[in-house]
Amino acid sequence: MTDPKTTPDLWVFENQTPHLRLGWRVTEILRHEMTPFQELLVVDTAESGRALFLDGCVMLTEKDEYFYHEMIAHVPLFAHPLPERVLIVGGGDGGTLREVLKHREVKECVLCDIDQRVTEASRAFFPTLSVGFDNPRATLLHEDALVYIKEQRGAFDVILVDSTDPVGPAVGLFEKPFYASLAASLKPGGIISAQAESPIARGQDVRKVMNGLSATFPKAQLYLGLAPSYPGALWAFGTGRLSGDLSPKRPLAFDTRYYTTEIHRLALELPPFVKELIR
């Protein structure tokens, strides 16, 4: 047992549910702190590169974060004919911002994450995620999005809710009053998209998001992506819009690892068990 990758036998587990846990072998603890809002942990893992945990839930691993970040960003952005002003709620790690800035149409992307320590950890440990923080088209705010959004009437073409799970600081981001504020913050033709948990592991959360969006927006629609390190792996995104549809409006003009125009189209095709879940 002299392999530095296996000594000591250190593991971090996420309790995906009380009865299911996914564990990574840890090679180094890089940061562990209580921020003003949550418990933050950054580790090096032997399997998945660096990983960020908030309140015990895995937010990302370097190995597979691109599935989630490409799908939360590119489906709504390509569904919009001209997304010039974009807001990210949460997403302090920067992964969603990185994908949004690939769209040349985007003139400004505001990232509003309540917890500055997340952004700082990303700058310190995740250079491939924080790459957009100093982009002149990016604006970083560390405010409560529930408050910020109220002053943004008609300001955005696309809003992406890249929140943590509906426990802790993100609870309000899954409630109807927030969705109403989002709707008021859209320009005509605007689209909002919110991470909506897994239809396999947390079907009740998917249903709650869709109920909230359906009660708020003339058009609410779910689409599916992947998040291999998240509970259930199949991941849902709930969208709301005033008009239009979610089909891709512009060709893919930059490199991706998972997203393609065809995958976009097919992400909108829900399998029977998901249709039943949100019926």
Binding site for its own copies (CB under 8 A): 5-6, 11, 13, 17-25, 45-48, 63-64, 200, 226, 228, 232-234, 255-260, 262-263, 265-266, 269, 271-273
Q: Among 84, 83, 94, which Cα is nearest to 244's?
A: 83
Determine which one of 64, 93, 162, 165 is catalytic. 162
- Decide: helix, strand or coil at residue 195: strand
Q: Is 9 a catalytic residue?
A: no
Supply the minimum distance, in Å, between the C-beta of residue 176 and its own copies: 30
Q: Among 228, 191, 194, 218, which Cα is nearest to 208's?
A: 194
Supply the minimum distance, in Å, between the C-beta of residue 223 and its own copies: 12
Supply the minimum distance, in Å, between the C-beta of residue 29 and its own copies: 16
Q: Among 218, 129, 226, 128, which Cα is nearest to 113's?
A: 129
> Based on CB atoms, which residue is closest to its own copies, 11 or 243?
11
Q: Among 8, 2, 13, 1, which Cα is nearest to 27's?
A: 8
Supply the minimum distance, in Å, between the C-beta of residue 166 and its own copies: 19
Supply the minimum distance, in Å, between the C-beta of residue 274 and its own copies: 9
Alpha carbons 13 and 184: distance in angstroms, whole number:
40
Distances (CA, A) of 124 to 33, 52, 115, 118, 135: 14, 12, 15, 10, 17
> Based on CB atoms, which residue is closest to its own copies, 33 or 47?
47
Are the C-beta atoms of 196 and 213 separated by less than 8 Å?
no
Q: Buried (b) or exposed (e) across 76-111, using 16+ Cβ within 10 A?
A: bbbbbeebebbbbbbbbbbbbbbbbbbbeebeebbb
> Based on CB atoms, which residue is closest to its own copies, 27 or 116?
27
> Based on CB atoms, which residue is closest to its own copies, 2 or 188?
2
The residues annotated as belonging to the active site are: 162
